[in-house]
Structure 1
Amino acid sequence: MPETTAPETTLRAATAVFAVALVVHGADHLRRGMDATSALVNALGTLQLLAALLVVVLVFRRHSAAPLAAVIVGFASAAGFFVVHLLPDWFGPLSDSFVDAPVSANVTGFSWFAALFEIAADLAVGLAGLRVLRERSAAVA
């Protein structure tokens, strides 16, 4: 097996945190009730979860596409969660805003923690993927 580089080790560590963030954020959605969000938000969240699980599998299987997948899914997820949870409810069915959430949405401090943890983990896995890609590019040059 080839020697593992520091950026690859960082990517695996960031991916482990990313996986924990997925569970924490998912637990908050289950706690709040799946009816607290629109069908569109639920569908997009399911697609994001499937893409995120693919990243986890690729990273831990040391697949050559893992860093690129981490970049794409990490940054897209961070942007998506930012729009859905942290912006005011301006996007209709694409919003599950915590900023002006109705009481029925059951948004708590844990909800805020889960969303911010998810966004931070998304950014971390995206940045770690970029670092591996940069290292590979420098090795080729």
Structure 2
Amino acid sequence: MPETTTPSDTALRITTAVFAVALLVHGGDHLRRGLDVCSALVNALGTLQMLFAVLTIALVFRRHSAAPLAATLVGFGSAIGFTLVHVLPDWFGPLSDSFVNAPPQARVTGFSWFAALFEIAADLAIGIAGLYTLRARQAVTV
């Protein structure tokens, strides 16, 4: 029996592809800036987020039933995390890599801002697409 593709599934796959590109762009900026400019805690949390993101991407493209929930949790969780770490002023020492009034050694550029904001927008998009897909699937089963 062929698998049906709904508009919400298509939206989830498209936003996941954009999310994957945003991960690469943001990760590339971290490599450009140097991993030594962030605290060990920020690096560890970023690595953990990347692992969850890659798992989510795999779930979405394998069309796993858990994909929409993973996309929702990882998307909104990542958006909150990246906003706290990069967009807010230095608010909690080792848990902050603030771009606001960043010192020169942080090597923050306009591209850094673009990468972080692109990542946050893609996080929100995949989170919304995950919710949309979850709700669409619930409507079918009711």
Provide the TM-score with structure 1 as the length reference: 0.99
State the aligned residue count: 141
The amino acid that maps onto 2:137 is: R
Name the SS of the counterpart of 1:125 in structure 2.
helix
The amino acid that maps onto 1:41 is: V
CA RMSD of aligned residues (A): 0.5
Structure 1 unmatched ranges of 5 or more:
none
1:119 matched residue in structure 2: 120
Provide the TM-score with structure 2 as the length reference: 0.98
Distance 1:15 1:133 in 2: 15
Distance 1:84 1:103 in 2: 17
Cα deviation for residue 69 of structure 1 reads 0.2
The amino acid that maps onto 1:55 is: T
Where do residues 23-34 of structure 1 align in structure 2 (5 Å cutoff)?
23-34=24-35
Cα deviation for residue 138 of structure 1 reads 0.7
Distance 1:16 1:71 in 2: 15
Cα deviation for residue 90 of structure 1 reads 1.3
1:109 matched residue in structure 2: 110
Cα deviation for residue 12 of structure 1 reads 0.1
Where do residues 1-141 of structure 1 align in structure 2 (5 Å cutoff)?
1-141=2-142
Percentage identity across aligned positions?
72
Distance 1:57 1:31 in 2: 26
Structure 2 unmatched ranges of 5 or more:
none
The amino acid that maps onto 2:108 is: V
Q: Which 4+ residue blocks in structure 1 deviate beyond 3 angstroms?
A: none
Cα deviation for residue 95 of structure 1 reads 0.2
The amino acid that maps onto 1:110 is: F
Name the SS of the counterpart of 1:17 in structure 2.
helix
The amino acid that maps onto 1:22 is: L
